[in-house]
Chains A and B, each alone.
Chain A
Amino acid sequence: MEALKKELKENIIEVLNLEDLTIEDVNDDDALFGDGLGLDSIDALELIVMLDKDYGIKLTDPSEGREIFKSVEVLATYITENRTK
Chain B
Amino acid sequence: MNSVYIHSGVSISAQNTFEEGIKEVEELKFTENSQVKAFKINYKEFLSPIASRRMATGVKMGVVAAKKVIQKAGEDTVDAIITGTGLGCVEDSEKFLNAVIDNDEQFLTPTSFIQSTHNTVAAQIALSIKNKGYNMTYVNGANSFEAALLDGMLLLNEENETVLVGGVDELGKRFINDYEKIYQQDVSFSEGANFFTLGARKKENSIAQLLNVEVFQEIDEDNLLKKIASFLEENSLKVSDIDAVILGINGDAYDSYYQKIQSELFTDTTQLKYKNLSGEFFTASAFGFYVATELLNKQELPTNCFFNSVKKEDYKTVLLYNQYLGKQHSLVLLTSC
B-contacting residues of A (Cβ < 8 Å)?
15-20, 38, 42, 45-46, 49, 52-53
Contact between A42 and B111, CB atoms less than 8 A apart: yes
Pick the residue among A16, A45, A49, A53 that contacts B53 (CB under 8 A): A16
Contact between B54 and A46, CB atoms less than 8 A apart: no
Question: What residues of chain A lie closer than 8 Å to B49, measured between beta carbons?
Answer: 19-20
For window 38-88 of chain B, which residues contact chain A by CB distance below 8 Å? 49-50, 52-54
Stretch at the interface among B102-110, B118-126, B243-251: B102-110
Question: What residues of chain A lie closer than 8 Å to B310, measured between beta carbons?
Answer: none
A-contacting residues of B (Cβ < 8 Å)?
49-50, 52-54, 103, 106-111, 114
Question: What residues of chain A lie closer than 8 Å to B52, measured between beta carbons?
Answer: 19
Residue of A nearest to B103 (CB): A53
Question: Can you report 27 residue pairs joining A to B where beta carbons are below 8 Å apart?
Answer: A15-B109, A16-B53, A17-B53, A17-B54, A17-B111, A18-B53, A19-B49, A19-B52, A19-B53, A20-B49, A38-B50, A42-B54, A42-B110, A42-B111, A42-B114, A45-B109, A45-B110, A46-B109, A46-B110, A46-B111, A49-B107, A49-B108, A49-B109, A52-B107, A53-B103, A53-B106, A53-B107
CB of B51 to closest CB in A, whole Å: 11
Listed from nearest, the 7 A-B pairs whose CB atoms lie closest are A53-B107, A17-B53, A49-B109, A20-B49, A46-B109, A45-B110, A49-B107
Q: How far is the CA of A42 from the CA of B109 in the complex (A)?
A: 9
Q: How far is the CA of A42 from the CA of B50 in the complex (A)?
A: 13
Q: How far is the CA of A52 from the CA of B111 in the complex (A)?
A: 17
CB of A15 to closest CB in B, whole Å: 8
